[in-house]
Amino acid sequence: MEVFSAALYRRILQIPGIQIEGLDGVLEEIRSIKTPEEIHSLRCACNIACRAFDYLLDDIRIGVTEKELEAKLSYYMTVLGGDAKPNFNLLISGTRTSLLHGMPSAKSIQYGDLILMDFGIEYKGYTSDMTRVVVAGKATEEQKALYGTVNTMLDRCLENIRDGVKASDVCEASFRTIRGTKYEPHYYSSIGHGIGLFVHEIPFLRPTSTDMIRENQVMAVEPAIFIPGWGGIHLEDNILVTKDGCENLTSTEKRLIEL
Ligand SMILES: [Mn+2]
């Protein structure tokens, strides 16, 4: 358990003869390998998010605000069967897409805007976490180039994930794509995490991670490049780790959608 209030800690210490032992990471380690039932719930959570995304595409038009679109996305996920519980979905547009934790605002969608959606829903307590970027109108060459680069970074991750690989090796395979390019200074180095009861669980895909990838872990894989003042591309799929590779649980296509 990582979160424990100071008040509760003090109360427990008042029990005569009590000792507190930390079990940091033990439960998390066990929990990272999913049972068939947990995998089923995660699969449902992913499907609901993908279907809600398809619904939302019809609502994206010039003039509608980020907040309005985010509210609709949340609504669709709940009515499609997700747990009725607030989630913190990110839906940002234009140059705001370079904000790593930008919240949906009253900004309205303009022609040519990138629209970045990082969202998920819980199903029976298990959460999905996907990200897609679309363009309102025709994409520019620069938008297409960056999108293609991040898509390749994601492909490299998915090709290298299987039971028994080091998380850091998966990162390296992905980052190799952009070494020496003009995008290198702008990539985000934390590109994946386990999902389950929490949205961020082990294993973590970071260059400094010592985690190993194991069969039946379910993960969010999410490379991103954020260029301040221009915008960002962030793509995120949820996958089930198998013995020889991975199964993609996010069925939404990955070509750049121009609306
Ligand atoms: Mn994520």
Q: Where do the domains of the chain lie, and which CATH numbers do they carry?
A: 24-258 (3.90.230.10)
Nearest in space to 57 (alpha carbons), one of 248, 225, 259: 259
How many C-alpha atoms does 106 have within 13 Å on its Cβ side?
A: 0
Centre of ligand 1 from the C-alpha of residue 132, in Å: 11
Distance 19 CA to ligand 1 centre (A): 37
pLDDT over 90 at 25, yes or no = no
For the cut 80, the answer to whether the pLDDT of residue 3 exceeds it is no
Q: To the nearest whole percent, how much of the chain has pLDDT over 90? A: 89
What pLDDT does 1 receive? Answer: 56
How far apart, in Å, are the Cα atoms of 79 and each of 70, 83, 129?
14, 9, 18
- pLDDT reported for residue 98: 96
Distance of CA 222 from the midpoint of ligand 1 (Å) = 6
Ligand 1 centroid, distance to 197 Cα (angstroms) = 13
114-125 residue pLDDT tens: 999 999 999 999
pTM of the model: 0.93
C-alpha 256/C-alpha 240 separation (Å) is: 24
Contact 234, 92 (CB under 8 A): no
Residue in 122, 120, 98 with CA at minimum distance from that of residue 229: 98
For residue 14, give Cα distances in angstroms to 3, 11, 17, 39.
Answer: 20, 5, 9, 41
Give pLDDT, residue 123: 97
Buried (b) or exposed (e) across 126-152, using 16+ Cβ within 10 A? bbbbbbbbbbbeebeeebeebbebbbe
Q: From the CA of 25, how far away is ligand 1's center (Å)?
A: 20
Q: What is the pLDDT of residues 170-179, one digit of tens each?
A: 999 999 999 9
**In angstroms, rounded to a whole number, what is the distance separating the alpha carbons of residues 23 and 27?**
8
Q: According to the model, what pLDDT value does residue 73 have?
A: 97
Distance 220 CA to ligand 1 centre (A): 6
Pairwise CA distance, residues 51 & 33, whole Å:
26
Residue 255 and residue 123 in contact, taking contact as beta carbons nearer than 8 Å: no
Q: Residues with beta carbon < 5 A to ion ligand 1?
A: 129, 220, 222
Element (H, E) at 92: strand 90-93
Q: Where residue 2 falls among pLDDT bands split at 50, 70, 90?
A: low
The residue written with tokens 């140059």 in the block is 95
How far is ligand 1, taken at its centre, from the CA of residue 9, in Å? 31
**Does residue 89 carry a pLDDT above 80?**
yes
Closest CA to 147 of 103, 114, 100, 120: 114
